[in-house]
């Protein structure tokens, strides 16, 4: 029997273009003391070879048809483990396999450890579990005994996008500066050279930290309903979206308001256009008689920021629903009013509005801490 153990050094979450580091150990457990070996072959365990590579599997809704006819060939499709994955869907990305060893012999109680290091391509889709399209990443570790079938150990990882286009769109919020928000160390004489990922994360921090309030006057055919203030248009995973409503400027009574955080998933195929809307957070409030109120929507850590591929695009928005009424019986009481009662019958109208927002990735360590996941994986070969 041989145990194959895989451990991710930096957790299961990475950015596109980052390097994945994984230790892979092959162990031959010691035999029971009462068992007596009959031959030399009973003492040693042998493996012919072992290799590792990263796969991205793309699965789609059955209504989209076959991907092979719509998309180009995947990156490094013809690899040794591609035919052994046996996963539903299409291999979208497969890095070149790296050979860990050839002809390994282990005595009872012996362990051999190998280190696998691979860079995730920067021009590939991120991890995503949508209603129409799903992208899932796995480190596939394959090994084989002589004259035996190939055994696979799959280590799932999550890959977050780094949206350079989105950074360019709202780069003006940084006031054309890359000055760090954190205080500098005056005692540090030699400053370490920043990697491209450090610069990207610092730029994201600058963009999503600076406030740039935007005010929106919401109106219908009868008049003004409310004024909405969104303190910033760019957010990171795990943050709270905070906004305020001002009803003092209204000329139409707003009975209730609902705000939802939604993602819009749209396929890019010309002959099979589909759109799916998914709601993650929702705020509902009866606002009749209120002058001011606020809305707080948490952004979950398990969602995927905006991205676009030739197959699907993902966008984020705030979806508003206002219930208004022009009923004269809704005139609110004053300080001199002794008794007030809402009318039994109320004529209402509902209006909807969607406001696009920018959603970016955050530090992979924060995502890994907020979402429980396993960094140790094991395969037993009997």
Note whether 130 and 60 are same-domain residues. Answer: yes
Note whether 152 and 202 are same-domain residues. Answer: no
For 54-91, b/e burial (b = at least 16 CB within 10 A) is: bbbbbbbeeebeebeebbeebebeebbbbeebeeebbb
Note whether 168 and 148 are same-domain residues. Answer: no
Q: Residue 39: what pLDDT?
A: 54
Q: Residue 165: what pLDDT?
A: 43
Q: Domain residues for 353?
A: 212-360
Domain CATH for 374: 2.60.40.640
Q: Residue 284: what pLDDT?
A: 95
Note whether 239 and 350 are same-domain residues. Answer: yes
Tokens of 169: 């769109």
pTM of the model: 0.81
The β-bridge partners of 379 are 4
Q: Residue 348: what pLDDT?
A: 86
pLDDT-flagged residues of the chain (< 70):
31-42, 63-88, 163-197, 328-329, 331-335, 342
Note whether 131 and 180 are same-domain residues. Answer: no
**Residue of 162, 136, 133 whose CA lies nearest to 266:** 133
Q: Residue 304: what pLDDT?
A: 94
Note whether 273 and 202 are same-domain residues. Answer: no
Note whether 203 and 238 are same-domain residues. Answer: no
The tally of domains found in the chain comes to 3
């Amino acid at each position: 029997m041989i145990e194959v153990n895989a451990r991710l050094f930096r957790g299961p979450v990475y950015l596109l273009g980052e390097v994945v580091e994984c230790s892979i150990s092959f162990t031959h457990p010691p035999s029971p003391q009462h068992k007596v070996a009959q031959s030399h072959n009973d003492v040693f365990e042998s493996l012919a070879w072992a290799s590792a590579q990263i796969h991205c599997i793309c699965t789609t809704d059955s209504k989209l048809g076959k991907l092979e006819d719509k998309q180009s060939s995947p990156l490094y499709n013809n690899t040794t483990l591609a035919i052994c994955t046996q996963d539903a869907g299409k291999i979208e990305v497969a890095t070149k396999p790296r050979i860990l060893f050839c002809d390994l012999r282990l005595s009872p109680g012996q362990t051999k450890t190998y280190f696998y290091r691979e860079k995730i391509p920067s021009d590939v889709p991120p991890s995503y579990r949508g209603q129409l399209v799903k992208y899932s990443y796995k480190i596939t570790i394959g090994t084989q005994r002589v004259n035996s079938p190939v055994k696979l150990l799959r280590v799932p990882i999550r890959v977050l996008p780094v949206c350079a286009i989105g950074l360019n769109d709202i780069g003006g919020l940084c006031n054309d500066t890359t000055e760090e928000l954190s205080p500098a160390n005056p005692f540090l004489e030699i400053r370490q050279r920043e990697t491209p990922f450090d610069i990207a994360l610092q730029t994201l921090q600058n963009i999503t930290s600076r406030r740039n309030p935007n005010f929106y006057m919401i109106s219908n055919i009868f008049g003004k309903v409310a004024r909405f203030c969104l303190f910033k248009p760019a957010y990171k995973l795990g943050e709270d979206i905070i906004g305020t409503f001002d009803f003092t400027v209204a000329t139409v009574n707003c009975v209730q308001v609902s705000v939802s955080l939604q993602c819009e998933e749209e396929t890019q195929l010309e002959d099979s256009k589909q759109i799916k809307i998914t709601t993650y957070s929702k705020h509902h409030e009866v606002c009749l008689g209120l002058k001011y109120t606020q809305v707080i929507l948490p952004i979950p850590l398990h969602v995927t920021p905006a991205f676009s591929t030739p197959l699907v695009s993902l966008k984020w928005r705030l979806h508003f629903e206002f219930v208004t009424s022009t009923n004269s019986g809704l005139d609110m009481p004053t300080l001199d009013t002794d008794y007030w009662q809402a009318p039994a019958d109320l004529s209402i109208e509902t209006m909807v509005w969607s406001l696009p927002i920018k959603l970016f990735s955050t530090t992979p360590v924060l995502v890994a801490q907020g979402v429980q996941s396993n960094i140790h994986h094991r395969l037993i070969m009997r």
